[in-house]
Structures are given as structure tokens and as C-alpha cells.
Structure 1
Amino acid sequence: MRWRAYGEHAALLDCDSLAQTIAAHATVSSARPAGITELVPGARSLLVVETPGSGALSAVRDLLSGADLEHPPAGEPREITLDVTYDGEDLDLVARDAGVSTEDVVRLHTGAVYTVAFTGFAPGFGYLTGLPEPLRQPRLSSPHTRVPPGSVGIAGEFTGVYPRVSPGGWRLIGHTRTVLFDPRADPPTLLAPGDRVRFRCAG
């Protein structure tokens, strides 16, 4: 891991892997040193923002320098269940490339428990880890020009839900009616890093 200054009151921790990022985020979230105003995990980084003059960045550095990131604190994550209709236009493609039936794709996808590793791409979009190995497939070689809101997709080691209409290269396997982003809500996003997510077949 390596720290880099990020403006006057923040620092960016470059991590060696996604697992290390998740562990560092869990460790800091659990301890929550006074003066931390924001924690923003990425695929290989963790942004830490402090209240000016609080010394929180030094406290976080000290915390992580002595932390056992192989066994981070489990905490008490929120658990969110999303009901999904598995009718995505790439469902047959995913099944074919996995060498299984479409029913098996649904069984595998709903049988796992996922963790929101980080958010990005669009407001409310969570990158969920925990995808079963047979479903870990590359992005589409030719992206969709219009992905409807609520579309459930997979790409690489992640699964996720498109919160709004956008182009997208993930393989679409279904859709949910759950609202992932509402700017009028508090908070506006349903998913946050560290949350646990389950998908349930809605028919």
C-alpha cells in the first residue's frame, strides 16, 4: 500500500488488490477515527478526507499500518434484497459461455451473497463482489447503446444494477423494479460500500 497526498485535507491510499481495498475500508469504517468526513473506496484505492486540523489522516495511517488486513473486522453490514426478473437479453449468451442452462444462471446468481465493494460509473451504481466463478465473463465486445434502468448485469468479477438509462457493456441477465438512485431521498443512493446484497427471483 502507498499513501499519496490528495489536496490539503485528504489522502489517497493505493492498494495492491480489491480485497485489500475492501479490508482497509472495513478497518477504517469500524474504528471511525474522529475527524474523518468521508471515505471513498475504489477498485484499488481508498480516499480519506479529514476535517481540517483534526489529525485524522495521521490516525488512519497509524491504524492501517498496524492492522491485520487479512482478517478485517466483519462489522454489522446492512442486508438488502433485490427482486429480479431474469429476462435479460444476454441471459442465453451468459448461459452458453458458462456451459450451463439459463435456469442454472438464475440459481447461481441468486444463490450468492454479494458485497458492495465500491460505487461509481453513475450515481447509485454499486460494484458487487461475490459473483460465482462460472458467471465471471468479460464485458460485451459491442456495448449496448441503451440499457434500461434497473437492468442487472455481470462483467468480470462483478455484478450490478444500472440505476438509470445509459450505454453499457455489461451482460444483461434481468431487471429489478427497485429504485437505486433518487436525488430527493436521504440518502439518495440505495447501496453503499460494505452493504450485503442478495438477489431474489421474482419470476
Structure 2
Amino acid sequence: MRIDAVNESTCIVYFGDRISDDTAALVRRATESIRHDLAHLVTDLVPSYTSVMVCYNPNLTDRFGIAAQLRQTLARAPRTEQTESGVNTIELPVFYHPDVGPDLDEVCRFSGLEHDEVIHIHSGQSYRVYAIGFSPGFAYLGITDPRIALPRKSTPRQKVPTGSVGIAGSQTAIYPSATPGGWQIIGRTPSRMIDWDSDSLALVQVGDRVRFRAIDRQEFIALGGHLDEL
């Protein structure tokens, strides 16, 4: 673990330089411990792949004091996940089809697999939420099966519709709102990934697990999905 100061009210706690489930678990446990033990000092926490950015009140402590408090808190934090059943798992329905997944055929060409095989591989595992960023509620999930891990596009699209499910190398993600983007889009979920009226804002949080459930066109529309946003 390494703690680096960013400015007079921010520091970053690093837990390594390799993206993995073990590192993500460390980030999750650290975030929970800091939020629980240092709420009187901390104004914001931003967990990422291998680190947690800690914003604190400079009127109550300085960079030396926060570093000491963080070391004490993290020394007391559990060293392993208490139980995988304690991890929040979110299931998202996805309509995998070229009508809403314009890059599904490209992923098939890359992998040499048929549509059904790509869909089975993508929806056949759970993914950990490693980070949230780019836009509000945009969750970076990993790790994508290498058979379908097509790199991101060299030229991004000017608009990727809300709910689009994409692949970019070893990661997969859902676009919570319509934004530019270069991920390979293979489907779309009717689920809302962001709720401006909720306390947490995003449907998923760092450390959560996500599973995709393949649905057909009829269920997609019945759940509120739209086909006319490309």
C-alpha cells in the first residue's frame, strides 16, 4: 500500500498496479473501512481499479494526519472477503442483436464464433465492477473472456445510445446515457443504470458483481427498451 498526496485536501491510496479480482477486493474493503471509520474527516471517496482517491477536510487534518489515520484504519480492515455472498450481485437483461448491437457481427468475425456462442460467452459469467467513471454511472466491468475481447474502435462513434452494452479488450460496460464512445456494441439493456433521485446515483458500485441475462426482442420492449436510438 502507498499513499501519495495530490493537493492540500486530496490523497490517493494505491494497492498495486495490476488489475485483478484480488486488488479489486482490497479496494472494496478499504473503501468500506474508510467510509465507516473516517466519515468525520473524509468528504469524498473515488475508488478505481487499483486505488482509492480520498478527499478530506483540510480544516480538520493535513496530509500527514490523514495518511496516519488511513494507515491505522486500513491496518484494522479485514484482509479477505468475509463471504462472497455479501457482495451485491446485479442481474441485467440484455437484448443481443445487430439491431441494437451494431458490432455483434464484428465480434463474431474477430472470434470466429456464431452469434449464439458470443452471447453465451458474454452472459455466461459474472463481472466485477472495477471502476465508475467517464460519465456518471458508467461502470467498467471485468474480466471479459479473451475469446471475445475485441479492442475498442479506432474511431469512436459520435453517439452511443443509452443502455448499450459494449466490449473493449478485457472489459465490458453499459452506457448509462447517450454519449460518444468507441466500445464494440453487442446489445442493449432496458435497465436504468443511473437514477438522479437516488442517494447512490448509480445502479452498481465498485466491488459489486454484474451478470447479464440474454432476452429476446419482445421482453426487451416489454421492459421499456427502445430500438430506434441508433
Residues 27 and 51, structure 2, Cα contact 8 Å, conserved in 1: no
Residues 30 and 73, structure 1, Cα contact 8 Å, conserved in 2: no
1:102 aligns with 2:112: no
Q: Distance between the aligned counterparts of 2:46 and 2:120, measured in 1?
A: 32
Structure 1 gap segments, 5+ residues each:
none
Distance verdict in 2 for CA 1:29–1:43, change over 3 Å: closer
Describe how 1:64-83 pairs up with structure 2 within 5 A. Answer: 72-73=80-81, 76-83=86-93
How many correspondences in the alignment? 201
Q: Distance between the aligned counterparts of 1:3 and 1:164, measured in 2?
A: 34
Distance verdict in 2 for CA 1:187–1:30, change over 3 Å: closer
Secondary structure at the counterpart of residue 6 of structure 1: strand
Does 109-118 or 139-148 show the bigger shift?
139-148
Q: Which of 168, 171, 175 lines up with 1:162 in the alignment? A: 175
Q: Which of 16, 27, 48 lines up with 2:54 in the alignment? A: 48
Structure 2 gap segments, 5+ residues each:
217-230
Match of 1:201 in 2: 214
Q: Distance between the aligned counterparts of 2:68 and 2:26, measured in 1?
A: 15
Kindly provide the amino acid, as one letter, of the partner of residue 131 in structure 1. Answer: T
Secondary structure at the counterpart of residue 153 of structure 1: strand
Aligned Cα RMSD in Å? 2.5
Describe how 1:11-50 pairs up with structure 2 within 5 A. Answer: 11-14=11-14, 15-19=16-20, 21-32=23-34, 34-36=37-39, 37=42, 38-50=44-56
Match of 1:4 in 2: 4
The normalised TM-score by structure 2 is: 0.77
Does 24-33 or 78-87 show the bigger shift?
24-33
Q: Distance between the aligned counterparts of 1:170 and 1:190, measured in 2?
A: 20
The normalised TM-score by structure 1 is: 0.86
Residues 128 and 159, structure 1, Cα contact 8 Å, conserved in 2: yes
Distance verdict in 2 for CA 1:7–1:63, change over 3 Å: same
1:116 aligns with 2:139: no
Secondary structure at the counterpart of residue 81 of structure 2: coil
1:180 aligns with 2:193: yes
Residues 136 and 156, structure 1, Cα contact 8 Å, conserved in 2: yes
- Larger Rg computed on CA atoms: 2
User: What is the CA distance between 1:174 and its match in structure 2?
Assistant: 0.2
